[in-house]
Amino acid sequence: MIRAELHHHDVDALLLRRTDYGESDLIVTVLTDSLGKIALLARGARKSQRRFGGSLQPFHGLALRVTEPRSGELFHLREAQIKTPRLTLVADLTAMTTAGRALNWVRRALPPQAVERSTFVSADGFLAQLDENPPKTTLDGEARLGEFGLHLLYQLGWALELRRCIRCGKSCPETSSATLNPELGGIICRSCGGARIRISADVRIAMVAASFGNLEGFAASDATQVLDIVEATLNHHGILDA
């Protein structure tokens, strides 16, 4: 669609990806608070650091001025600055690895220009948490990533059913363990044949809480299992293969 006028927007953003374009330009993908995920052409960004002040860096909170395209989906970046620096995060390898995986999920899962402010708030808050309190171990990072992933699945409409059997609808008591099939979308009771993954009652209840954004925390011993469940679900929806 051809637009008669150029519209400018001031947005808060998180950098999801940057790609060299031509001799001096960049194409950057960002998640914004009001426009959703958009791709931007940053002219001269590689040739002159003064143009955008070296602000197009991952994990920091950014303030951008962008212009809508006359046609297509590629916006133009006019101004950029770091609004919320996260210096502790970018100095910690485990924190950066954890943050990078989370933003990669977001980039692959969200369609262009679908406004998902709640996802922006969650992602920005997750990065702030990593900056304020970096993971102490790799397993700690995986536990936090699993929590974020469960809430992301909920926001995308792909939340796992963890309280009742997805086949017969029978409720699972809070004190009971359960078997889970991420590809089918939830737990399956023994009467319906069960599933390949067994989760304890404590893990299941914590997963329910995390899905709704109530982060109660997983034990380090449970972190890998929860993260594997999240990634199996994302993979089923084609996110990890994108």
CATH code for position 114 = 1.20.1440.120
pLDDT of 50-62, one tens digit each?
Answer: 677 688 999 999 9
Contacts of 139 (CB under 8 A, 6+ apart): 220, 223, 224
**The predicted structure's pLDDT at residue 49:** 65
Please check whether residue 10 is in contact with residue 63, taking contact to mean a CB–CB distance below 8 angstroms. yes
Number of other CB atoms surrounding residue 235 within 10 Å = 13
- Inside any domain, residue 3: no
Max CA separation in the chain (angstroms): 66
Residues 134-184 pLDDT 10s: 999 999 999 999 999 999 999 999 999 999 999 999 999 999 999 999 999
Residues 192 and 162 occupy one common structural domain: yes
Q: What is the pLDDT of residue 50?
A: 65
Scored b (16 or more CB within 10 A) or e, 130-156 reads: bbeebbeeebbbbbbbbbbbbbbbbbb
Instruction: Examine residue 32 and state whether it is found in any structural domain, yes or no.
Output: yes
For position 134, what pLDDT does the model report?
96
Q: Is residue 178 part of a domain?
A: yes
Shared-domain flag, residues 146 and 217: yes
Tell me, yes or no, whether 95 and 53 share the same domain. no
Do 58 and 102 belong to one domain? no
Same domain, 46 and 142: no
Instruction: Give 10-residue mean pLDDT values along the chain (242 residues).
Output: 65 96 91 96 79 86 93 89 97 97 96 90 96 95 95 96 97 96 96 96 94 80 94 91 49
241 occurs within a structural domain: no
Q: Is residue 50 part of a domain?
A: yes
Last residue of a domain, one of 17, 49, 84: 84
Look up the domain containing 54 and give its range. 8-84
Q: Do 73 and 140 reside in the same domain of the chain? A: no
Evaluated on CA atoms 125, 123, 218, 191, the torsion sign reads positive
Within a domain: 142: yes
One domain for residues 98 and 160 = yes
* pLDDT score recorded for residue 178: 97
Q: Which CATH number is 64's domain given?
A: 2.40.50.140
Cβ atoms 118, 200 nearer than 8 A: no
Predicted local confidence at residue 1, as pLDDT: 39
pLDDT for res 241:
55
Q: Kindly state whether residue 221 falls inside one of the protein's structural domains.
A: yes
**pLDDT at residue 4 in the model:** 45
Residue 242 has a pLDDT of 43
Judgement on whether residues 124 and 204 belong to the same structural domain of the protein? yes
Shared domain check, 166 and 75: no
Tell me: do 171 and 213 sit in the same domain.
yes
- Structure-derived torsion over alpha carbons of residues 96, 98, 102, 108, reported in degrees to the nearest 10: 70
Asked, for residue 39, whether it belongs to a domain, the answer is: yes
User: Do 73 and 95 belong together in one domain?
Assistant: no
Residue recorded with tokens 């309190």: 133
What pLDDT sits at residue 214?
A: 80
Q: What is the pLDDT of residue 44?
A: 83
Listed residues 62, 84, 106: the one ending a domain: 84
Question: What pLDDT, on the 0 to 100 scale, is given for residue 203?
Answer: 95
User: Structural domain tally of the chain?
Assistant: 2
Are residues 74 and 16 located together in one domain of the fold?
yes
